[in-house]
């Protein structure tokens, strides 16, 4: 099962996503801001990172650039509203994919399953 980091300034979103992921036996850590997430990434290894776009102090697109300097972990960018130009920008910056809020459990599990399969293939 995957070790996941959820980064969102809305604690309800972190809790909801953690609850969903833990049902599937994933280990979940979370941070309410990008700076806290960057600290966690420096001391922990994750299989996937779910990152909100709109956050105070450091937006998700800026945080994505910093995360990619620290790790090759796939980053799923999340947003309730994701403009086409922002989606293009975060994908160019290295986002694995984009996820729209509200979440669909099946969609989240499919993303994690795809990432896990790719990791297995990469390690063959």
CATH number of the structural domain spanning residue 110:
3.40.50.2300
Domain that holds residue 88: 3-122
Using DSSP bridges, classify how beta strands 97-100 and 75-79 pair: parallel, antiparallel or unpaired: parallel
Average pLDDT of the segment spanning 52-81 = 90
Q: Is the pLDDT of residue 82 over 80?
A: no
CA distance 50 to 65: 14
Q: Please state the domain count of the chain.
A: 1
Specify the DSSP element, H or E, that contains 109. Answer: helix 105-122
C-alpha 23/C-alpha 35 separation (Å) is 28
Give the integer Cα–Cα distance in Å for 39 and 58. 14
**Model pLDDT for residues 6-16, shown as the tens digit of each residue:** 999 999 989 98
The helix/strand/coil state of 63 is helix
Sheet holding 75-79: strands in order across? 27-31, 3-7, 48-52, 75-79, 97-100
**What is the pLDDT of the chain when averaged over all its residues?**
90
């Amino acid at each position: 099962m995957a070790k996941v980091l959820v980064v969102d300034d809305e604690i309800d979103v972190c809790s909801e996503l953690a609850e969903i992921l833990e049902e599937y036996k994933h280990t979940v850590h979370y941070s309410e801001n990008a700076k806290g997430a960057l600290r966690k990434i420096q001391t922990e290894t994750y299989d996937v990172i779910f990152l909100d776009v709109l956050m105070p102090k450091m937006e998700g697109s800026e945080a994505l650039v910093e995360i990619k300097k620290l790790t090759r972990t796939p980053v799923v960018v999340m947003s309730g509203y994701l403009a086409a130009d922002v989606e293009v920008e975060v994908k160019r910056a290295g986002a694995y994919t984009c996820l729209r809020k509200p979440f669909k459990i099946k969609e989240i599990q499919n993303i994690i399953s795809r990432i896990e399969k790719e990791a297995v293939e990469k390690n063959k």
